């Protein structure tokens, strides 16, 4: 899935649920159906690059502008956003995370702070925490099923390097519809919808975000996969 194209200093990924009886499925059963739903495990792991573009809305729609995001294996990511005439860039080249943040008085690339670096490193993982989770040392537990905004959803608890997230997969489609996370006291939720097929893989084209800092959203116009992406665009000093 498009997962963490969202940058900590610009966007951060709440919802309610009513607990229902356990789904009676193992983690492997649920994830097998999830992998099939998003286009197949083999096809996903063979994904080498992705370029996405669209519109980002901040502060409940009070500010908005275009964005363009790049991801490339093994662990590179870059996002560019234009808001109120300011060009914002955040990127990770596999070793160094950096950013250009005009609203903070920075018009030249500078190394990112530790929190942003951790976020960018996570975003650079094209597979996300549900693929290769055992190999990566993550923990996943099937909690049960819950109603999430009128949809019956399978609730998974996912622990990645000590950080815990609650994933909710549509019980009919096995596509993620909501992720709730608490990181350093920040409660955040991602609500994903409008899934579309892009060359056999499914991506959400609408991502709504709610935090204590306000509501935000990304609407994708286009997602391209396995297209040529120059490694230099991820570098702080190309």
Residue 26 has which token pair? 């193992």
Structural domain boundaries, residue 79: 17-234
Instruction: Check whether 112 has a pLDDT greater than 90.
Output: yes
**Predicted TM-score (pTM) of this structure:** 0.85
Answer whether residue 8 is part of any domain.
no
Distances (CA, A) of 214 to 12, 13, 79, 197: 9, 11, 20, 30
pLDDT digits (tens, 9 = 90+) for 138-162: 999 999 999 999 999 999 999 988 8
Percent of the chain with pLDDT over 70: 89
pLDDT digits (tens, 9 = 90+) for 154-202: 999 999 888 899 999 999 999 999 999 887 777 889 999 999 999 999 9
Answer whether residue 87 is part of any domain.
yes
Distance CA 43, CA 202 (A): 11
Average pLDDT over residues 35-48: 96
Answer whether residue 9 is part of any domain.
no
Average pLDDT over residues 5-26: 44
Instruction: Check whether 12 has a pLDDT greater than 70.
Output: no
Answer whether residue 1 is part of any domain.
no
Answer whether residue 7 is part of any domain.
no
Domain with 75 in it: what CATH number? 2.50.20.10
> How many domains, the chain?
1
Answer whether residue 3 is part of any domain.
no
- Is there a contact between 22 and 142 (Cβ–Cβ < 8 Å)? yes
Instruction: Check whether 73 has a pLDDT greater than 80.
Output: yes
Answer whether residue 230 is part of any domain.
yes
């Amino acid at each position: 899935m498009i997962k963490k194209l969202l940058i900590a200093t610009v966007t951060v990924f709440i919802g309610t649920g009513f607990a229902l009886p356990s789904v009676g499925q193992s983690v492997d059963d649920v994830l097998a159906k999830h992998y099939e739903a998003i286009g197949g495990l083999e096809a996903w792991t063979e994904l080498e690059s992705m370029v996405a573009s669209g519109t980002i809305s901040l502060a409940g729609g009070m500010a908005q502008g275009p964005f363009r995001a790049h991801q490339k294996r093994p662990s590179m990511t870059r996002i560019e956003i234009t808001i109120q005439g300011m060009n914002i860039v955040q990127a990770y080249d596999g070793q160094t995370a950096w950013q250009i943040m005009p609203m903070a008085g920075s018009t030249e690339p500078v190394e990112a702070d530790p929190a942003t670096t951790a976020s960018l490193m996570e975003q650079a993982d094209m597979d996300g925490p549900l693929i290769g989770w055992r190999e990566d040392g993550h923990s996943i537990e099937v909690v049960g099923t819950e109603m999430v905004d009128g949809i019956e959803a399978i609730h998974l608890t996912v622990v990645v390097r000590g950080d815990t997230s609650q994933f909710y997969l549509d019980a009919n489609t096995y596509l993620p519809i909501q992720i709730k996370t608490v990181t350093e006291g920040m409660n955040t939720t991602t609500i994903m919808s409008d899934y579309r097929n892009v060359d056999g893989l499914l991506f959400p084209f609408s991502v709504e975000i709610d935090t204590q800092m306000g509501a935000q959203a990304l609407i994708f116009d286009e997602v391209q996969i396995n297209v040529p992406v120059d490694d230099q665009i991820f570098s702080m000093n190309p």
